[in-house]
Structure 1
Amino acid sequence: MTNPLANAAVQWIEVDAEHAGQRIDNYLLTRLKGVPKSHIYRILRTGEVRRNGGRVKAQDRLDGGDVLRVPPIRLAERATETLPLNLLRARIEPRILFEDDDLLVLNKPSGMAVHGGSGLSYGVIEALRELRPAARFLELVHRLDRETSGCLLIAKKRSALRALHEQFREDDVNKVYLALLVGAWARNRLMVDAPLRKNVLQSGERLVRVAPDGKSAITEFRRLERYARATLVEARPVTGRTHQIRVHARHIGHPLAGDARYTPEEANREFRRHGLKRLFLHACRTTFLHPRRQQPLSVEAPLDDELAQVLRELPR
């Protein structure tokens, strides 16, 4: 099936009220199905996407009635790849931690992107829409890196999405991660306050580093268990920057085990010998106000068996 927006003509899209408040990058990722994520970010970065005649940034939020100009996009014809419903159901349904009429919290599997793009036909949100064809609204509230597992919030109503976005903007969502640091960390607790700057490469890959001119970023680390050459910690990001925990861990001299982007290969090789095949970062708990009831809601995601087994294998 050919994407109606993937053609050689400029497209003009009027944003309806249902999508008001959504980030423009998320909106385009949903509308331009099959277009690589890196290409969408490139046309945003170069100013080829216009809103009401003006330039926009990926993180800008839409208003009802906005008119978007999308430049010509040409895709090679290819068959749409689909995954069997039973395979999707087996991978997703058992990992739903909480669900009501307003939202859903999923224990996202490691290795599964939150949305398709960049060569991936399916992500979490596409899988959920496939499993819930009658659902009128399903949108990601936030993102987790592809290799990170754990609590992921999905809104089932526009009103819930707006309310939860506001909590994330105000840093009112309490997110706690389990992370395995390389090396024996002597401290019990540390608050890391180090600004971060994000660089997006031509390929669309994001690299983040500590920089004086970066955005404010604060992470609290608390030691849980010490091993001979590793330390299990609880990491709580006070702010929500891209790759924040991963870069702050490296900044204090103890990068995350299994991190192919920020951890030396020789360190990762050592952990592979103990069975670690992925990034050891798991969003174990998320606490926020329910968007409709305005009561605190805390959801916990159990540690995946593969990570629990690694901890059992580590020498003390």
Structure 2
Amino acid sequence: MTETLRPPASVRLVRIGEEHAGQRIDNFLLTQLKGVPKSHIYRILRTGQVRLNGGRIDAARRIASGDLVRIPPLQVAARTDEPPSGAVDAFAERLTPRILIDDSELLVINKPAGIAVHGGSGLVLGIIEGVRKLRPEARYLELVHRLDRDTSGCLVIAKKRSALRSLHEQFRENAVKKVYTALVTGAWNQKMRTVDAALDKNVLQGGERMVKASAAGKAAATTFRRLRAFQTATLVAAEPHTGRTHQIRVHAQFMGHPIAGDERYGLSERNRAFRQQGLRRLFLHASRLTFVHPGSGRTLTVEAPLDAELQSFLERCP
């Protein structure tokens, strides 16, 4: 059981229990600091205001049972943007046909594009809030991993602490096979290529995260396989072998073929042309996950079909 110790001068010292063991520290803080914008949480992590066992901590660090987390005093603004219950119900019901697996251990959903996995930072609802509304009887629902707000596809949610720990370990050891479908700009001439380029994550003013290929960064590798060629774009399958922030998007940019509709790493002129042709979002979709099921111990492959808007765009693409 997670225990809050007597805090000095409004600082909270939280002893981590089994229910939070294995969580990333940023996800843990999101549960502890409800109402605090996500950008603010990352800011207090970057500036060293959050401490783990007395030391500074990176946002991606995972916490263990018995760890002591120092949380600085923060003023949480009262929520004035709570959505009406009908809107929450409608959002939850929107997710119902997108459920791919729902068993005693986990839930896998085909996440829509344009919705964050967590609410906060100006977003009233996220996927996890919608799922909790959809499954009010579930005592435990925690995100196993993340997808960018603008990325659609397979997203895994654990229903048990044991399932979360098992899946976290598989993700940490890169034992989960992830395959994305992406439309990249230009002609990708090779049938298959592995991009091995280290990635360096920088945080710009305002909390926006930007990543670039740099020898000073962390090792990262992605295999791209050509699926279909068009006049001005190429459909590819991308398999990341590491789990770096924005990895596929930056590796595609590094190769000179940024992903269609990518407002952060893409080409403005090409994105305008794609919009005129009907593409209103980032063309990146987590199409397949393969992992060991934490309950049965069997290898499981989950596939999420392309959203209708992406499939329709491909059919019109010259």
Say whether the fold is shared (TM-score over 0.5). Answer: yes
Of 171, 195, 200 in structure 2, the residue corresponding to residue 197 of structure 1 is 200
Calculate the TM-score normalised by the size of structure 1.
0.94
Q: Please tell me whether residue 244 in structure 1 is matched to residue 219 in structure 2.
A: no
Give the distance between the partners of 1:182 and 1:162, measured in 2 at CA.
Answer: 38
Of 157, 161, 165 in structure 1, the residue corresponding to residue 164 of structure 2 is 161
Aligned position for 1:71: 72
Aligned position for 1:5: none
Deviation at 1:80, TM superposition (A): 5.0
The gaps in structure 1 that reach 5 residues or longer are 1-7
**Cα deviations by residue, 1:148-170 (Å, 9 ceiling, x for unpaired):** 00000111111111111111111
Secondary structure of the equivalent of 1:54? coil
Give the distance between the partners of 1:80 and 1:13, measured in 2 at CA.
Answer: 29
Aligned position for 2:16: 15
Give the distance between the partners of 1:82 and 1:16, measured in 2 at CA.
Answer: 32
**Cα deviations by residue, 1:117-146 (Å, 9 ceiling, x for unpaired):** 211121111111122222111111110000
Aligned position for 2:42: 41
Aligned position for 2:131: 128
The gaps in structure 2 that reach 5 residues or longer are 1-8
- Indicate how the Cα distance of structure 1 residues 276 and 11 shifts in structure 2: closer, same or farther if over 3 A, else same: same
Aligned ranges 1:39-118 → 2 under 5 Å: 39-82=40-83, 84=86, 85-118=88-121
**C-alpha contact 2:180 2:239 (8 A) present in aligned 1:** yes
Q: Please tell me whether residue 254 in structure 1 is matched to residue 231 in structure 2.
A: no
Give the distance between the partners of 2:36 and 2:77, measured in 1 at CA.
Answer: 10
Secondary structure of the equivalent of 1:177? strand
**C-alpha contact 1:88 1:131 (8 A) present in aligned 2:** no
**C-alpha contact 2:89 2:133 (8 A) present in aligned 1:** no
**C-alpha contact 1:50 1:56 (8 A) present in aligned 2:** yes
Deviation at 1:306, TM superposition (A): 0.3
What amino acid maps onto 2:96 in structure 1?
E
Give the distance between the partners of 1:68 and 1:251, measured in 2 at CA.
Answer: 38
**C-alpha contact 2:186 2:233 (8 A) present in aligned 1:** yes
What amino acid maps onto 1:266 in structure 2?
E
Give the distance between the partners of 2:77 and 2:93, measured in 1 at CA.
Answer: 32
Secondary structure of the equivalent of 1:104? strand
Deviation at 1:249, TM superposition (A): 0.5
**Cα deviations by residue, 1:176-200 (Å, 9 ceiling, x for unpaired):** 1110010122221111111111112
Give the distance between the partners of 1:90 and 1:29, measured in 2 at CA.
Answer: 24
**Cα deviations by residue, 1:66-97 (Å, 9 ceiling, x for unpaired):** 33221121133342513524312322111000
**C-alpha contact 2:53 2:68 (8 A) present in aligned 1:** yes
Of 214, 217, 242 in structure 1, the residue corresponding to residue 217 of structure 2 is 214
Q: How many residues align?
A: 308
Secondary structure of the equivalent of 2:194? strand
**Cα deviations by residue, 1:278-313 (Å, 9 ceiling, x for unpaired):** 000001111111012111100110100000111111
Give the distance between the partners of 1:86 and 1:116, measured in 2 at CA.
Answer: 15
What amino acid maps onto 1:241 in structure 2?
R
Of 181, 187, 212 in structure 1, the residue corresponding to residue 184 of structure 2 is 181
Give the distance between the partners of 1:147 and 1:78, measured in 2 at CA.
Answer: 25
Aligned position for 1:269: 272
**C-alpha contact 1:179 1:232 (8 A) present in aligned 2:** yes
**C-alpha contact 1:10 1:72 (8 A) present in aligned 2:** yes
Calculate the TM-score normalised by the size of structure 2.
0.93
**Cα deviations by residue, 1:19-54 (Å, 9 ceiling, x for unpaired):** 112111110012211101111111111111123333
**Cα deviations by residue, 1:247-270 (Å, 9 ceiling, x for unpaired):** 011111111000000011101001
State the percentage of identical aligned residues: 62
RMSD: 1.4
**C-alpha contact 2:182 2:238 (8 A) present in aligned 1:** yes
**C-alpha contact 2:227 2:235 (8 A) present in aligned 1:** yes
What amino acid maps onto 1:183 in structure 2?
G
